[in-house]
Amino acid sequence: EVKDSIACEANGEGITRAITVANPPVNLFCRIVDGKDIKQVSDHLYTVDDRTFYIRLDKKFAPIIRASEKGKEIIVRYNAAEPLIYSIIW
């Protein structure tokens, strides 16, 4: 069972997404985003496709940028102890 909730950022510049998985399998990963290019611009901020939009993701989730069919993607290992929360900012 997966619960997915989306809320608008208070400043209107994006959305925040929270994903919770009941009884997740061992080594479950979640793809946050994929695109032609992804670059880390700070400890918790990533730019996608030449600043088309940004992903804000706490470094405690240990995001991994890797090659994908489209170019690159960000994935994180799901931790059953807390929901996976990140923001999409435009």
- Position 34 scores a pLDDT of 96
Dist. CA 27–CA 31, nearest whole Å: 13
Cβ–Cβ contacts within 10 Å for residue 76, how many?
Answer: 20
pLDDT category of residue 37 using cuts at 50, 70 and 90: very high
| Mean pLDDT, range 69-88, rounded to an integer | 95
Contact 84, 61 (CB under 8 A): yes
Residues 6 or more apart in contact with residue 55 via CB below 8 angstroms: 32, 33, 38, 45, 46, 48, 74, 86, 87, 88, 89
**N- to C-terminal Cα separation, the chain:** 30
> Percent of the chain beyond pLDDT 90?
94
Summarised one tens digit per residue, pLDDT across range 42-74 is 999 999 999 999 999 999 999 999 999 989 999
